[in-house]
Amino acid sequence: MPKIEEKLIDKDGIRIGGRKFNELRPTKIQVGVLNNANGSAYIEQGKNKILAAVYGPHEVHPKHLALPDRSRLRCRYHMAPFSVDERKSPAPSRREVELSKVIRESLEPSIFLEYYPRTSIDLFIEVLQANGGTRCAGITVAALALADAGIPMRDLTVACAAGKVEGQLVLDLNDTEDKKGEADVPLAYMPNLNAITLLQMDGQLTLEEFEKAINLSLEGCKQLYNMQKEALKAKYVVLKEEVKE
């Protein structure tokens, strides 16, 4: 067991940072933040700062990767060297390769890829600052970048983690809670279709705890889903006001 120097949850059930067990970190989302990309979005979830950009659908390079019946979704999850305490080499780590794969697979079910055969949709997620839960925040912001690029989708994918810290199930773990806690369950979800498109877990949970953790993450997903929709609308409200002037 890891040694716990300071309590992560106090006697009133308040976590470090002042949150309750089912409370998300303060989250800000913005859509359409980059000029060159077809779609882009930015999220701040606690100390996480993540940018996502979408290019495409466009011609695939190299050409032999083109699929005859649908578009090829490509995804790169990448962390900036300065995003963590100790400098991270900019070369893609094994963790980043795995996360790129699971993030791509979490978003693919939401996109009508069959509308754009022989093309590719390239998605780039850049973690500028990481403080736990970046794969989930990355998915939440990437779905918005895809929507901003005008790519037809079945639903907005949204992601959030739940975990176990000092014997208690909590929502949206930060870095300290993740490292010192007993378990972490990241999950991505399409609320309108009731479909879970990413599920991972590390740590140790009984079946009962696991079920509770899933339900807790789903609650978090639903809250974030509303913020996603608000952020998407906000972009167009601003445009309309500009037109009035």
Partner 1 sequence: MSMIIRVKQKQIAQLMAKGKRLDGRELNDYREIKVEMGVIEKAEGSARVLLGKTEVLVGVKIEVGKPFSDTPNEGVLTVNAELVPLASPTFEPGPPNENAIELARVVDRGIRESKAINLEKLCLEPGKKVLVVFIDVYVLNHDGNLIDASAVAALAALLNTKMFKYDVEEGEIKVKPGYTPLPVQSYPIAVTFAKINDKLAIDPWLEEEQVMDSRLTITIEKDGKICAIQKGGTGYFTTGQILEAAKIAKEKASEIRKLVVKG
Q: What part of residues 61-80 is at the interface with partner 1 (CB under 8 A)?
A: 69
Kind and range of the H or E element at 100? helix 94-107
Least separation, in Å, of the C-beta of 189 and partner 1? 9
Task: Give yes or no for residue 218 binding partner 1 (CB under 8 A).
Answer: yes
Task: Give yes or no for residue 195 binding partner 1 (CB under 8 A).
Answer: yes
β 158-165/168-171 pair status: antiparallel
* Cβ 72 vs Cβ 55: under 8 Å: no
Task: Give yes or no for residue 84 binding partner 1 (CB under 8 A).
Answer: no
Of 27-35, 133-141, 197-205, 220-228, the segment contacting partner 1 by CB under 8 A is: 197-205
Q: What part of residues 86-125 is at the interface with partner 1 (CB under 8 A)?
A: 94-95, 97-98, 100-102, 105, 108-109
Residue of 60, 79, 145, 205 that binds partner 1 (CB under 8 A): 205
Least separation, in Å, of the C-beta of 185 and partner 1? 7
Task: Give yes or no for residue 200 binding partner 1 (CB under 8 A).
Answer: yes
Distances (CA, A) of 146 to 38, 93, 183: 9, 25, 31
Residue of 41, 159, 190, 232 that binds partner 1 (CB under 8 A): 190
Task: Give yes or no for residue 59 binding partner 1 (CB under 8 A).
Answer: no
The 8-class DSSP code of residue 16 comes to T
Phi then psi for residue 77, to 5 deg, are: -95, 125
Measured at the CA of 150, the angle between CA 66 and CA 148, to 5 degrees, comes to: 115
Report how far residue 37's alpha carbon sits from residue 233's, in angstroms, rounded to the nearest whole number. Answer: 19
* Cβ 116 vs Cβ 99: under 8 Å: no
Summarize as ranges the residues that interact with partner 1 (CB under 8 A): 69, 94-95, 97-98, 100-102, 105, 108-109, 185, 190, 193-207, 210-211, 214-215, 218
